[in-house]
Structure 1
Amino acid sequence: MRVVHEPTGGSERTLATAVEFADGLLSQARGLMFRRSFPGDYALVFRFGRVANRGLHMVFVPFDIDAVWLVDGEVTASKRLPAWRGLGRGRANTVLELPAGAAEGVEPGDTVRVLDGDGTDVTTGGG
């Protein structure tokens, strides 16, 4: 699997090649808390069954991350969240957590998709 960014009027680029889904209640609640590291090619994907305001916190997360909020693959918000004290909120049915710097240049209105090995978009398939 991979996470692909398609900027408006730009060329496609891969943001991550190691993708993990946090589709269950416990995995969504835990997120990246208590992890010691975050590989540079990794993405944690939260898929939800409906669009709503989705908040993230960085309590017990010892490294900075980039967060991207999506509605049906369209970016609604993107923010760098600092370790331990970061907070973010956006409207989404999918939220991505990426290593700090991975979402550089990802802007509202762009498209970000999670593709399986066959190229099928699985961005909103959970929840």
Structure 2
Amino acid sequence: MRLVHRSAGPDADAGPDADAGPDADDRKSTVLADDVDVARSTLEQGRGLMFRRAVPDGYALVFPFEEADAQWLHMLFVPFAIDALWLVDGEVRKRKRLAPFVGLGRGRADTVAELPAGAAVDVAVGDEVRLVE
């Protein structure tokens, strides 16, 4: 499973006259994480990244929810910074760097993704981020 980012920037909607070579879609998409855990149960979601010493590059923890609603993240017992993405139907609604131990974030989402700090630096609000098998 991978977490894939597709920019909503000018290149993503270049139009019919743009260079659309055989790898055009590949150039617009990047893999944010190729080692993905999905926290489906209430226990997994409650624990999140707590009590881990670190997460490797290329890792993501994804939290799917039944519907879009206010979703809170905290960094209690998490000794490293993360990048957090709040998504609704695959569209990034919010991105925030959360500080170790004291970080707190809230956003409307049906899915939340937690990545190592710096992994989502090129992700912007309005971009697409999807979990791909």
TM-score w.r.t. length of structure 1: 0.89
Structure 2 unaligned segments of length 5 or more: list them: 12-27
Deviation per residue, 1:78-101 (Å, 9 max, x gap): 000010010111100000000000
Q: What corresponds to 1:105 in structure 2?
A: 122
Structure 1 unaligned segments of length 5 or more: list them: 117-127
Q: Which has the larger radius of gyration?
A: 2
Q: What corresponds to 2:4 in structure 1?
A: 4
Shift of 1:12: 1.1
The answer to whether 1:86 aligns with 2:87 is: no
The answer to whether 1:45 aligns with 2:65 is: no
Q: What secondary structure sits across from 1:8 in the alignment? A: coil
Query: What is the rounded CA distance, in whole Å, between the counterparts of 2:37 and 2:107 in structure 1?
Result: 21
Q: 1:55-70 maps to which residues of 2 (within 5 A)? A: 55-70=72-87
Shift of 1:105: 1.8
Q: What secondary structure sits across from 1:50 in the alignment? A: strand
Deviation per residue, 1:42-91 (Å, 9 max, x gap): 00000001110101000100000000000010000000001001011110
RMSD between aligned residues: 0.7
Query: What is the rounded CA distance, in whole Å, between the counterparts of 2:4 and 2:58 in structure 1?
Result: 12
Identity of aligned residues (%): 57
Moved over 2 A (4+): none
Query: What is the rounded CA distance, in whole Å, between the counterparts of 1:104 and 1:37 in structure 2?
Result: 19
Query: What is the rounded CA distance, in whole Å, between the counterparts of 1:112 and 1:21 in structure 2?
Result: 15
